[in-house]
Amino acid sequence: MARTWLSIRVELLGGRGDDLWPYPGRVLLVGPSHTFAALATAIDNTFARWDRAHLCQFTLSDGTVVTDEETADESQDIAFGPFPKRPLVLGNVKVGSRVDVGEEFRYVFDFGDDWTYACTVEKQKVDPVHEMGIAPKDPTVVWGWGAIPDQYGRRWDGDDGEAPTPRRPRARHPMLSFGWPSEGRAEPVDLKELRGATYRRDLPAILAAVEGREIDGLLQHVGLAAQVVLSSDRDRGEMIALSVVNRLELRGWSGDDVLAEDLLAELRRTPTTERSLPVDLLELGSALSGDPTEAAGYLDLHTGDVIPASLADPAYVGEDAAIDVDDDPDRWLELDPPDSRAPWQDMAEFAAKQTNSDVRRRLESAIEGKGAFRRFRDVLHREDLVAQWSPFSDDRQMGRARAFLADAGIRAVPPG
């Protein structure tokens, strides 16, 4: 790690339930002897946090927490989840010993109001005498922008007073999410393994597929598996289902509320008054996310099968082979036309969850303007992200399928 002076960009993302945009920011010079306690004090001074009777902590990109000694002790006394790694203590750790150029880390002040800052190490081997004329005793601001207010009226980095306000990202900054950082803490679920175990209704295999694994991006898949487990082993099923419900409420994607309601109904043994149907949500979600210029097809309300529109068109399959949906209209539910905005929003959400700032910016740039889907795929392949994108996209489609069924008065249950 760096043993020299660092230039650290600090941006205030939000607090008290509000996200800020543009993010106000300051650039601080941090010396080799400065601890995280000194950096916390400098940030609080810089952003006018005058009431200091609150807790704070840093979270590094590898998940390491740096906080006060009492909070570090209390963090070991938890009754759920993996046994936590003991946090580092603010005054005992030098900033330069733990972070390096290009690294991002988070600072949160006041647990409750959650004033959240994104910190990025922009340079090392900075000469403070050249930059400021002195070598300051404490971490010190050398540049800034944004309304706290800013003395020069800059609202974002590079604001010259004439340029329009930059477009706000469609998705929230990843550090505002509950689970940041999502990478490096646990192995992700092997989706092929989980799907197979769910289809076979193999309880031990389902538990082996999810226990100790990262599940937050696959809650629709895991929720489906939890429904299977609940039907076989309520004790183990309740443990998984409750965890999934809490995560669904925090995540809030399309269909997450429906799945949470279904799991809670099963946990409370409260039967739903709506119709239940075994549906392959991934197949239905794919149909609802297809070409918006073509009909999506039909859902067979007897079997739960998804029927492409072409199978009901005599021009495609012939008069004898075509399914006559008008002959038994109560059996067939016509699928909504695909929403062209939904796949784009999936790309925006995927870009926003990337913890590597360079990759995040490349993905966000790729999806602006015409040709967004092609450029997005190109970046996925260049950055080796296809294996992450596919299950993420599948889970989003499954959620939309579940929401579509709920709007039609149907609750999806696991097929098989």
Query: Could you tell me if residue 1 is inside a domain?
Result: no
**pLDDT at residue 321, rounded to an integer:** 82
Q: Say if residue 140 is in the same domain as residue 228.
A: no
Q: Say if residue 147 is in the same domain as residue 229.
A: no
- Residue finishing a domain among 150, 168, 186: 168
pLDDT greater than 60 at residue 125: yes
Q: What mean pLDDT do residues 118-129 have?
A: 94
pLDDT greater than 50 at residue 1: no
Q: Say if residue 32 is in the same domain as residue 67.
A: yes
Full domain range(s) for residue 319:
297-334
Query: Could you tell me if residue 284 is inside a domain?
Result: yes
Q: Say if residue 189 is in the same domain as residue 144.
A: no
Residue-wise over 189-211: b if at least 16 C-beta within 10 A, else e?
bebeebbebbeeeebeebbebbe
**pLDDT at residue 151, rounded to an integer:** 43
End-to-end CA distance of the chain: 53
| 139 contacts 94 by C-beta, under 8 angstroms | no
CB atoms within 10 A of CB 35: 20
| Tally of residues, the chain | 416
Opening angle at CA 174, ends 263 and 252, nearest 5:
25
Q: Say if residue 120 is in the same domain as residue 30.
A: yes
Number of domains in the chain: 3
Assign residue 83 the CATH number of its domain: 3.10.290.30
Q: What mean pLDDT do residues 127-132 have?
A: 88
Q: What mean pLDDT do residues 190-200 have?
A: 88
Q: Say if residue 349 is in the same domain as residue 228.
A: yes
**pLDDT at residue 182, rounded to an integer:** 58
Q: What mean pLDDT do residues 134-143 have?
A: 92
Q: Say if residue 282 is in the same domain as residue 186.
A: yes
How confident is the model over 250-287, as pLDDT tens digits? 889 999 999 999 999 888 888 777 788 999 999 999 88
- Residue finishing a domain among 168, 195, 220: 168
Q: Say if residue 244 is in the same domain as residue 385.
A: yes
| 76 contacts 84 by C-beta, under 8 angstroms | yes
Would the pTM count as exceeding 0.85? no
